[in-house]
Each structure stands twice: as structure tokens, then as C-alpha cells.
Amino acid sequence: MTKSSATSGGHCVVDSVGKVYSSSGNDLEIVLKDCSFEVPAGSLTVLLGPSGCGKSTMVKLIAGYETPTLGQVRLDGVPVNGPNADRIVVFQETALFPWMTLQENVAYGPVQAGEAKAAAEREAGALLRTVGLAGFEHRYPTQISGGMQRRAEVARALITRPKLMLLDEPFRGLDHMSRGLMQEYYLKLFDEHRMTTLFVTSEIDEAIFLADRLVVLSYKPTVVKTVIDVDLPRPRNFQMLTSATYGRIKEQALDLLYNEALKAFDQTPAAA
């Protein structure tokens, strides 16, 4: 995977998007309401919001798995009308096939698309080495840790050369150390390839450490509260978490998210 192939296109526009679900009877649930933001090509944009605000719904709309009730999603000016290999999602739960080795898992997409198996597996092996899994190519998912599985998932997404990477809280559930290492691994890949990325998280520290810009969401019905530019230099390191710039950005994001989290808490049904 070359740097140029990863940065050709990928400009995503979410334009006045709303999503309404029908529930029992005639009740309607407004999840997203008039949301607009952009993911510039070659950027790492983080979607940050309280739990339950509709972040995963937004990912599904951008991926084309669901259709907006209102508004439109466009990638490089073309309306999104269903799933496409230009947009690849790495979900919270592992989607690796347990009966395949890591190398076979990563090569699966290109092989299904008609690429010769030997060539696809060579590229898969190279990508696994890039994400720190040299020597594990022939292991099965059940034989490696959760953090290693996450790296293999990222490699499987990268091999398709998507215009837009969508990561929906991919490091959720990992222990603190593994999560920090995964953040570093992903930043290393981003700095090398500059693949356009929309990363979803509820964790402020993770969001600021990764992002070029934060898109901060409200609680439901969800709107975009603000967009914050993260003017920390790249490459990133954890020492930056003690900088004045980091502190200023975190304070701004915390003020917004705290108020939205209170709304979510107030709407949680009391225990019987």
C-alpha cells in the first residue's frame, strides 16, 4: 500500500443529515437532527460524543449501511447510496474469521475481488508486519490477544485501499496499556499513509491524541455542537498530553460533553 494510493480522494461531506426511526405504534425516535460536518481528505477526524448519542448510526449512514431520513452524505462529491469498498468500517467487535489464519483473513477481500491468492497473501503478510504482527501470520484469531486482533482488523481494512476508513470505537474493551499501544500503532500508520479517517470514540483523551479535528456531538436528538481544530504537531507522543495546548482543548471538549452527558443521565430510566 503506497502513500499516494491512500490519499487519492476521500473528502466526505455530511450535509444536513437527519435520521428518524419508527418504534412501536406511531412513535418516532429522532436520533440525528440536521448534522453537518466534513472529513477533509488526508485528515484524521474524530467524532466525539456521549454514549448513546448516535455515533454508530452516523457511521452506518456514511458507510451506506443505512439511508438518511433527511440530508445527504457525499464522498468526493458523489452521493452515498449503499455500501462500497471506498468506505471500510472497523467495528467495535472483531469480524475476523476464526477458521482462517491472520494472513488469510487480511487477504480475504482482494481474493474475493478476483486477485490471485498468492499475490494477495504476500501483500497481507507485508501489512501484518507493518502493524507489528510479524511472525503471527499463520496464527488463528483465537491464538492471539485482543489488541493483536484489532491490528489484524486494521490491516484487513487497509489492504482494500479505501478512500475513507471508518473506525467505530475500535479499541473499546482493551485494557489501558493495550489501548494506548493501539493508538500509537494507528497514528504510525496514519503518518505513513495519510489515509482519510473518521474515528469514533467517547474517550476525550483518545480523541485529542489522535485527531486533526474533533467533531463534538450533542445528546439525542443529535446535532453537531462544534468542531475543534487540534493544533498539536505530528508525529504525536504521549508527552503532549501534558502540554498547555492539550489542556486547553480538553477543557473546551469537557465543558461541552459534560453538559450533554448530564442530559443522557437525566433520560436514563430509574431502576425498578
User: Do 161 and 87 touch, CB atoms closer than 8 A?
Assistant: no
pLDDT at 135: 92
d(CA 116, CA 111): 6
- Full-model pTM: 0.87
* pLDDT for 25: 63
Gap between the Cα atoms of 63 and 49, Å rounded: 19
Q: What angle do CA 49, 91, 81 make, to 5 degrees?
A: 85
Rounded to whole angstroms, the Cα distance separating 1 from 139 reads 23
Burial annotation 252-269 (CB, 10 A radius, 16+ → b, else e): ebeebbeebbeebeeeee
152: left (phi over 0), alpha (psi -120 to 50) or beta: alpha
Cell representation of residue 93: 467487535
* Residue whose C-alpha is closest to residue 235's, from 183, 169, 179, 165: 183
Contact residues for 75 (Cβ-Cβ < 8 A; gap 6+): 9, 10, 11, 12, 13, 86, 87, 163, 164
- Which residues pair with residue 47 across a beta bridge? 200, 215
Print pLDDT tens along the chain (272 aa).
Answer: 444 344 468 999 999 999 998 876 667 788 899 999 999 999 999 999 888 889 999 999 999 999 999 999 999 999 999 998 899 999 877 789 999 999 999 999 899 888 999 999 999 999 898 888 999 999 999 999 888 898 899 889 888 889 999 999 988 878 888 888 888 888 988 888 888 999 999 899 999 999 999 999 998 889 999 999 999 999 988 888 899 999 999 999 998 888 777 776 666 554 44
**Spans of all domains in the chain:** 3-86+164-266, 97-161
CA-wise closest residue to 48 among 253, 268, 190 = 253
Residue 12: the pLDDT is 96
Looking at domain 3-86+164-266, its CATH class is alpha beta
> Is the CA virtual torsion 155, 106, 164, 208 positive or negative?
negative
pLDDT of residue 266: 66
Grid cell in block for residue 108: 480475504
Q: What is the pLDDT of residue 142?
A: 93
